[in-house]
Structures are given as C-alpha cells and as structure tokens.
Amino acid sequence: MRVIEIQNHALLSSERAIPEPASYQVLVKVAAAGINRPDVMQRNGLYPPPPGASDIPGLEIAGTVAAVGDAVTPWRVGDTVCALVTGGGYAEYCLASAALCLPVPESLSLLEAAALPETFFTVWSNIFDRAGLNANETLLVHGGGSGIGTTAIQLARAFGAKVFISAGSEEKCHFCRELGAEAAINYREQDFVEAVLQLTQHRGVDVILDMIGGDYLPRNIKCLATDGRLVQIAVQQGAKSELNLWAVMQKRLTLTGSTLRGRDDAFKAAIAQKLYKNVWPLLESGTIKPVIHRIFPLNDAALAHALMESNQHIGKIILQVSP
C-alpha cells in the first residue's frame, strides 16, 4: 500500500505491506484522512506516537471496512466508517479499533466524514466532559477559525451556549460570526481581554478553550467569570507562563487540560458513544457540518502541512487518499 512517511522531518511517499487487524480492530480502506496540528508536531520531532502506535502520521480517517478482527461484531466488510486512530492515517489502508469507529452520517461524504473524529472527540471531551459547559453559559474559543474552533462554535451553539472567539484576521472573524459566534475578536487589532470584559459587562466568560498557551494564561484568568473553567488543549506559544494564584482563589477557577492521543481505547470509546448519541443526529439533520478549507491528494501531504503551518486556513484540511 502507498503511505506517507516522516523522514528527516519531511513527508515522503513510500510503500508498505497492508497490515492485518488484531481481534479488536478493523482494517479500513482509507478514502480520506484529516490533517491535524499534532501531525505537524510529529513531523517536526515534537510529538512522538505513543507506544504501539503506527509511525505513519494521521489521527482520523474515513473509508470502507476491508477486514475485521475475530472479536469484532458491530462492523462488517463494506461498511463505511470514520475513525479516530493513534496513527497510520496517511495511507491507503489503516487499522482502527472497532470501538473508535462511527458510521458515516448519511448527509456527509467520506471526504467530509474524515474531518470529524479528531476535532469532535477533542471538543466534546474538553468542553462538555471536562469543563461541563451548560446551556446559557458563555464560551470563549481561541483560534476560532481552526478545525477545533469551527467545531466548538457549532457544538456549543447547538447545545444552547453563547460563543465568543478570537482569530487573527477579519476574514476568519467574519466566517466565525456567520457560523454562529456571538462575537469575534481580531486579536491583532483588539486586546481580547478588554473585548471580552466589555462583551460580558465585566462578568467574564464561563469557559475558555485555549490552544495558544504562553502569555495567554494570565490574560485568560482575567477573562474568566467567577467559577469559570479554563481548558488547555495545546501550547502553540509555549508551555510556560506566570500564574496569579490569588486570582484563581478569589474567583474559584478551575484550570484543566488534556491530550487525547495517548488515552486508552476505553476512554475514547466512551466519547464515541456520547458523540453517536448526542452529535450524530445533528450531523444527520445538517444542523452542524464540518468546515473544510481545502482537499489535497495524498502525495501532496507536504503542501497540506505547509498550509496548516501558514495559519491561513479556516476549518479542516483533508487528504484524499482514494477517489
């Protein structure tokens, strides 16, 4: 099978044997794979795959089941699925845990379905499970134009929350407002702290989803309302910052964060079940839909990474593996 390997921080086409599924796995003939920031970090040597995972990048796929393991009952050869994987997505065939596969919503193509797993698992796990976002609360999303951001806007809105976002261009801000954000703050032109406090009559927001890190931490603390929750899911501007613990104590804040790739299948399967129950009906009805910026052929994976690193995209970047 054709795969894209990481060699000396570059993405190169290669050939490998088609893997065989273990008892709990399915083998998927990949139609499309999503590009995610962790893929770029892995290519740069900053995010190695967990033990036992494929060294081939790619954390989400969609395609057709080509073979099933001995213990797999819910899936059959020929089923169309999308799946969260720990690696191996940039290939013509990929192994996935059967418990982390979800049916492709009838309203979506395989190319669109490949944009679902990584972002939807991440957003649900962090905004709803960890931060406990409720209806009528307010969510601030940094990086609103990203795949995570566009997913968070739609899901939070669908479940009754009000969403503010920050982004680095007026184009992204406009898109996010059209998608359902109550307000969009261009951080290149406005201080997002001042903007958020003005938007909330100095109350602050209930939840912040942050993938920036660095000096955003003390600014996020200022943006949070009493009993507010900050969820850190990436640190694009650095992992270290100063924290005023007195502010945390006074406002009874919760600071948390997570990574998803290294969690076990049981944890991820629980998220999959919640998504299938709560979110898949919204996808089927067209209430929410993945935002796709551009689709590249598999051999152009390097160009896809360059686009992601440029931060010029809005929504997801997809690799088309097979027609």
Helix (H, G, I), strand (E, B) or coil at 127: helix
Entry pTM = 0.96
The enclosing domain of 49 has a CATH number of: 3.90.180.10
pLDDT tens for each residue of 36-46: 999 999 999 99
* Domain interval for residue 175: 120-257
pLDDT tens for each residue of 199-257: 999 999 999 999 999 999 999 999 999 999 999 999 999 999 999 999 999 999 999 99
Residue 221 sits in the same domain as residue 157: yes
Residue 129 sits in the same domain as residue 247: yes
Residue 7 sits in the same domain as residue 111: yes
Residue 110 sits in the same domain as residue 160: no
Q: Is 110 exposed, middle or buried (0-12, 13-18, 19+ CB in 10 A)?
A: buried
Residue 51 sits in the same domain as residue 107: yes
Distance from C-alpha of 231 to C-alpha of 254, rounded to nearest angstrom:
8
The enclosing domain of 192 has a CATH number of: 3.40.50.720
Give φ, ψ of 159 to 5 degrees: -105, 20
Question: What is the number of structural domains in the chain?
Answer: 2
- Going by the DSSP 8-state scheme, the letter that residue 98 receives in this structure is G
